[in-house]
Amino acid sequence: MRKIALAVALAVTGCGQDAELNKQAQRMAQQYLLVDTHIDVPYRLNEKPADVGMATQGGDFDYPRANRGGLNAPFMSIYIPAEMESDGSARDYADRLIDQVEGLVARHPDKFAIPHSVKEMERQVASGRISLPLGMENGAAIAGDLQNLHHFAERGIRYITLTHSKSNHISDSSYDEQRQWQGLSDFGKQLVKEMNRAGVMVDVSHISDDAFWQVMEISEVPVIASHSSARHFTPGFERNMSDEMIRALANNGGVIMINFGSTFISEASRESRAKIRTATEQYMREQGLDEDSEDVKHFTERLMEEEFVYAELDDVLDHFDHVRELVGVEHIGIGSDYDGVGDSLPTGLKDVSQYPNLIRGLLERDYSEEDVGKILGGNLVRVWRENEAYARAKPQGAPAGTE
């Protein structure tokens, strides 16, 4: 009886601890500035229009869920598909996506605002609105003209991912076997310097390793990896960052924002996705179908449901731990890739309402409240401020943003 009573007492104590941790995580999500540097809402809405100022069916982001999750400043990704470099449509497309975010703000001025500086972002959050800074994913829209950089900076772009899935006129891509520049092009090197002068953060996600090391040599201010994870857990996946790169990023003062996508986090997930891809390609050959076929889509969806291995919250936390062990908490942030990685998000982090799960996990792994506050937004804000300060000291550059 005494053993049973002790077991019950321990269970009750455990439940109490769980409840207290949940309460603490919820409080911190609402209390601390929470910045996520990569959410693909504009592209999602361009493909399938919806009003994310209200509750939506599907997708990973809307206003009610963001409020529940404590999200204050989600960077809206102005994502430009690689093919738009070659057909010349990238600049206009980027402007249209920015117009779309501005339209969302115009429909819901009590809920959203677009900042051009840290101070504007902080004022918007203090007023109870969700601040929507803009990040350009793929510098194709610069189109070889530095005036376009200043045009987009004036429209609110606060970081630029130099390339995406293919090499462009700025940089080689980690996903592209064709390395035409062996890193950055001559224009790309010039662009990095001008981004520093303009107060626009350089984003090293997606670029090749050679391009990363060249950015490290050129940039006079800290840079970010807006949505990357640790290659330590996904050997051979160049899209993630090696330990050496993470150390260099930290030495530069920068921040790696951890991507939540299962295939960024888990090698088992990557292997399952590769098997599904191989099986789909075989099915296409056998049936004489192309990838746009509805039959192929249904076949792939079924395999995803049956075979895909999702990462767990603990897998995501392992990436945070690894970076902490390498360089400390001052160089970690959140770059979820919500609305950008499809149905591949880990259990416990399925949409923007679930940041408290991440916070609780960090607390359970002995991160202090101060540490968690840095990860949630403090580290990114520090880098953003340093970029602004550098730009203000360089009169030939574009303004870092309105104050």
Residue 244 structural domain: 26-266+310-392
**Residue 402 domain-assigned?**
no
Distance CA 342, CA 5 (A): 47
Query: For the segment 351-378, what is each residue's pLDDT rounded down to a tens digit?
Result: 999 999 999 999 999 999 999 999 999 9
**Residue 318 domain-assigned?**
yes
**Residue 387 domain-assigned?**
yes
- Tell me which amino acid residue 254 is: G
- pTM of this structure: 0.93
pLDDT of residue 17: 79
Query: For the segment 8-35, what is each residue's pLDDT rounded down to a tens digit?
Result: 443 444 567 789 999 999 999 999 999 9
Query: For the segment 110-121, what is each residue's pLDDT rounded down to a tens digit?
Result: 999 999 999 999
Q: Alpha carbon 328 to chain centroid distance?
A: 20
**Residue 299 domain-assigned?**
no
User: The CATH number of the domain where 65 resides is what?
Assistant: 3.20.20.140
Query: For the segment 63-94, what is each residue's pLDDT rounded down to a tens digit?
Result: 999 999 999 999 999 999 999 999 999 999 99
**Residue 285 domain-assigned?**
no
Distance CA 244, CA 187 (A): 26
Domains contained in the chain, number: 1
**Residue 354 domain-assigned?**
yes
Extract the runs of DSSP E, i.e. beta strands, from 40-186: 73-79, 112-113, 130-131, 134-137, 157-161
Q: Residues 6 or more apart from 329 whose CB is under 8 A from it?
A: 367, 371, 374, 375, 379
**Residue 293 domain-assigned?**
no
Of 75, 74, 52, which is closest to residue 63 (Cα–Cα)? 52
Of 175, 159, 170, which is closest to residue 77 (Cα–Cα)? 159
Query: For the segment 154-193, what is each residue's pLDDT rounded down to a tens digit?
Result: 999 999 999 999 999 999 999 999 999 999 999 999 999 9
**Residue 290 domain-assigned?**
no
Query: For the segment 237-263, what is each residue's pLDDT rounded down to a tens digit?
Result: 999 999 999 999 999 999 999 999 999
Question: What's the number of CA atoms in the CB half-sphere (13 Å) around residue 2?
Answer: 0
Give the chain's mean pLDDT: 94
